[in-house]
């Protein structure tokens, strides 16, 4: 038994819910998460797709992850091709390689995994003897173009809907021995949501902006409609495998809703998942009962769990049945005493709230719909109800931000700390505050997609100011993301397929981005620091989420004016255009 095989078997021995199927007569799929095992197994979307694939009797799906340090050294020393986890099969032996891509910063790992698998990186270099390489996930239906050189086929949409039709048609093509190039054309023509970059041509203006984008064959759609499950029809989505080796150790993650009715202008989730959809209360309780019968902790996943109408009842029910739970991010203005009491009775001791900005003005710019007064009221309620630590998310580099707005973060944090101490004086312990301060990265399909990212030097200066201003405050910890990595994320988020050349050069230089930046025929600042014209063709404009571009332009203007707009309540308006099609 090789060291890799032994390591993987030890990992499998700690899991509950692993699926192992015989390959005979089935389509084999390597489901790949381009990061470490612990990270991938903490991702609910990845787990959901694993379940959907293996629920199909015609499919056998096994997982593949980016090797960690010990594994990587073995692979490099032996020259062995990367193996799957379940059966330790070589990755090139699978029919399909399916990448799950929730984050742009994992894109470089895609190339590392292909290299370790002994598979050519570029689509044009892979003949019929290699597996078909597909990709899905949130980043792909925002902007797949930076990966256009490497991925044969993108599935733009939610897995519950698009996978069934795709696999049915792919299965027919596979069994009939259809060549890869012809198969891609058929899939692009027949399966809604399928995008095959090699079938589309792009031209550019002298300015560097896109002049034209379209299919090489008129039978292939010029725009790709993102496929969504509206309303939710299937079972509640939850973890299929439970293991202690994740961020959420031995916890069953449960999706409570998809999308968000509070359309913060920087956040793609409030736009690409429109309309926001809440799981039916009956389905939630049924699923919770099934999980509690098997034992284990429940992680309730939602963009803002405190907004859900039945969240108090669900959390009370879990506690009454002797279970334990945790909640993801909470909105300060929808917290209630009962929900906090339930959290106090659970094992969760840290509450996560995202003020995002220090000043009311910037929160109006981003349409946060949250005031400083509401934030402080929430802190007082939290402190009076029980003992909790706080994790607070802020962003810097937001559009129209001034030095006064950065100073306002300091003032707000000190005020929060003051009220936490004041309201907790009758207890011996006072909760700690952990600040997570991130750089604004513009995202496709948001009203802020036309704004540039703040410069790396400016972000570093703001981080230094905040670090100095808060360093003397007791009970407050602070972490920052790295501006140069935020720059790369922005490049991969906002770039077109020309960025693929930069990504490839960085990979060939062992992750050193300086050389590809210097040698690139297009300045990466063009994608990151340039203010985009409202009328220009953007790299992702061929993707149809049902959102009218005029709506995003209106929201852009409101952001400049620091004016808020209404919440997204499905069926109550047709302003963005989505509800005209699906409600």
CA 465 to chain centre: 30
Specify the DSSP element, H or E, that contains 193: none
Residue 474, both tokens? 């007791």
Say if residue 275 is preceded by a cis peptide, omega within 30 of 0. Answer: yes
The pLDDT of residue 550 is 96
CA dist 192 and 224 (Å) reads 7
Pairing mode, if any, of strands 257-258 and 277-278?
antiparallel
CA dist 194 and 320 (Å) reads 46
Q: Does residue 582 have a pLDDT over 70?
A: no
CA dist 177 and 168 (Å) reads 15
Q: Side-chain half-sphere of 579: how many Cα atoms within 13 Å?
A: 13
**Nearest alpha carbon to residue 564 among 401, 405, 366:** 366
Local confidence band at 552 (pLDDT 50, 70, 90 cut-offs): very high
> 471 φ, ψ to 5°?
-65, -30
Residue 412, SS3 per DSSP: helix
Check: CB of residue 270 under 8 Å from CB of residue 259: yes
Check: CB of residue 444 under 8 Å from CB of residue 267: no
Q: Which CATH number fits domain 251-494+555-563: 3.40.1360.10, 3.30.830.10, 3.80.30.20, 3.40.50.1000?
A: 3.80.30.20
Show me where the domains of the chain are located. Answer: 3-225, 251-494+555-563
CA dist 62 and 54 (Å) reads 9
CA 202 to chain centre: 27
Q: Does residue 544 have a pLDDT over 70?
A: yes
In this prediction the pTM is 0.95
The pLDDT of residue 98 is 98
Q: Is 423 exposed, middle or buried (0-12, 13-18, 19+ CB in 10 A)?
A: middle
Local confidence band at 184 (pLDDT 50, 70, 90 cut-offs): very high
Mean pLDDT of 507-523: 93
Local confidence band at 304 (pLDDT 50, 70, 90 cut-offs): confident
CA dist 362 and 298 (Å) reads 35
**Nearest alpha carbon to residue 183 among 74, 246, 121, 96:** 96
Write the CB contacts of 10 (distance below 8 Å, at least 6 apart in sequence): none
What are the beta bridge partners of residue 49? none
Which of 128-132, 530-534, 575-579 comes out lowest in average pLDDT?
575-579
What are the beta bridge partners of residue 134? 98, 153
Mean pLDDT of 20-43: 96
State pLDDT tens for residues 232-286: 776 778 999 999 988 888 899 999 999 999 989 999 999 999 999 988 888 888 8
Q: Is 190 exposed, middle or buried (0-12, 13-18, 19+ CB in 10 A)?
A: middle
Mean pLDDT of 1-27: 92
Task: Compute how many other C-beta atoms are within 10 angstroms of the C-beta atom of residue 279.
Answer: 21
Look up tokens 């949409």; give the residue.
157
| Mean pLDDT of the chain, nearest integer | 94
CA dist 114 and 110 (Å) reads 6
The pLDDT of residue 427 is 75
**Nearest alpha carbon to residue 434 among 402, 388, 401, 396:** 388
> 101 φ, ψ to 5°?
-125, 90
Specify the DSSP element, H or E, that contains 213: strand 210-215
CA dist 499 and 246 (Å) reads 33
Q: Does residue 581 have a pLDDT over 80?
A: no
Specify the DSSP element, H or E, that contains 407: helix 403-423
State pLDDT tens for residues 412-469: 999 999 999 999 877 778 899 999 999 999 999 999 999 999 999 999 999 999 999 9
The pLDDT of residue 341 is 97
CA dist 177 and 179 (Å) reads 6
**In angstroms, what CA-CA distances link 81 with 71, 96, 224, 366, 384?**
12, 16, 35, 47, 57
CA dist 261 and 567 (Å) reads 6
What number of H helices and E strands is found in the chain? 21, 19
The runs of H, that is alpha helices, within 277-371 are 281-294, 311-320, 337-345, 360-365
- Helices 483-494 + 456-470 axis angle, to 10: 140
The pLDDT of residue 296 is 76
């Amino acid at each position: 038994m090789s060291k890799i095989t032994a390591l993987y078997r030890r990992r499998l021995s700690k899991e509950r819910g692993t699926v192992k199927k015989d390959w005979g007569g089935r389509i084999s799929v390597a489901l790949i998460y381009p990061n470490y095992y612990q990270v991938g197994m903490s991702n609910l979307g990845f787990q959901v797709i694993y379940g959907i694939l293996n629920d199909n009797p015609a499919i056998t799906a096994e997982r593949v992850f980016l090797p960690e340090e010990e594994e990587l050294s073995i692979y490099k020393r032996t020259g062995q091709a990367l193996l799957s986890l379940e059966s330790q099969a070589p990755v090139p032996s699978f029919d399909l390689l399916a990448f799950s891509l929730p984050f742009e910063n994992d894109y470089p790992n895609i190339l590392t995994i292909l290299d370790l698998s002994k598979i050519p990186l570029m689509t044009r270099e892979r003949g019929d003897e290699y597996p078909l390489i597909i990709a899905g996930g949130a980043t792909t239906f925002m902007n797949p173009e930076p990966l256009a050189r490497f991925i044969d086929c993108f599935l733009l949409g939610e897995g519950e809907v698009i996978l069934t039709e795709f696999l049915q048609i792919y299965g027919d093509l596979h069994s009939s021995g259809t060549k890869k190039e012809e198969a891609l054309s058929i899939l692009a023509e027949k399966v809604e949501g399928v995008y095959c970059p090699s079938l589309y041509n792009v031209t550019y203006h002298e300015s560097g902006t896109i002049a034209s984008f379209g299919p090489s064959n008129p039978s292939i759609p010029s725009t790709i409609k993102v496929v969504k499950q509206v309303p939710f029809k299937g079972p509640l989505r939850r973890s299929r495998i439970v293991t202690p080796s994740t961020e959420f150790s031995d916890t069953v993650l449960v999706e409570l809703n998809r999308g968000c009715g509070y359309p913060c202008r920087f956040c793609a989730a409030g736009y690409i998942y429109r309309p926001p959809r809440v799981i039916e209360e009956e389905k939630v309780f049924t699923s919770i009962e099934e999980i509690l019968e098997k034992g284990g902790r429940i992680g309730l996943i939602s963009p803002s769990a405190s907004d859900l109408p039945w969240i108090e009842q669900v959390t009370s029910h879990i506690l009454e049945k002797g279970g334990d739970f945790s909640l993801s991010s909470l909105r300060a203005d929808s917290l209630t005493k009962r929900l906090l009491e339930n959290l106090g009775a659970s094992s969760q001791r840290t509450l996560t709230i995202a003020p995002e900005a220090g000043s009311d003005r910037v929160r109006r710019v981003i349409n946060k719909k949250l005031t400083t007064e509401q934030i402080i009221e929430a802190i007082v309620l939290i402190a009076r109800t029980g003992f909790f630590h706080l994790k607070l998310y802020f962003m810097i580099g937001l559009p129209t931000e001034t030095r006064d707005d950065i100073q306002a973060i300091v003032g707000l944090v000190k005020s929060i700390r003051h009220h936490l101490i004041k309201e907790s004086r009758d207890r011996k312990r006072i909760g700690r505050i952990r600040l997570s301060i991130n750089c604004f990265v513009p995202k496709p399909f948001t009203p802020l997609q036309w704004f540039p990212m703040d410069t790396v030097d400016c972000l570093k200066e703001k981080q230094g100011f905040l670090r100095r201003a808060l360093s003397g405050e007791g009970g407050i910890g602070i972490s920052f993301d790295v501006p140069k990595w935020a720059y790369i994320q922005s490049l991969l988020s906002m770039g077109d397929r020309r960025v693929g050349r930069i990504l490839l050069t960085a990979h060939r230089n062992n992750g050193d981005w300086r050389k590809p930046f210097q040698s690139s025929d297009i300045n990466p600042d063009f994608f990151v620091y340039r203010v985009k014209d409202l009328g220009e063709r953007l790299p992702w404009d061929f993707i149809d989420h049902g959102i009218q571009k005029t709506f995003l332009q209106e929201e852009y203007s409101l952001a400049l004016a620091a004016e808020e707009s209404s919440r997204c309540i499905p069926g109550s308006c047709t302003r963005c255009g989505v509800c005209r099609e699906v409600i």
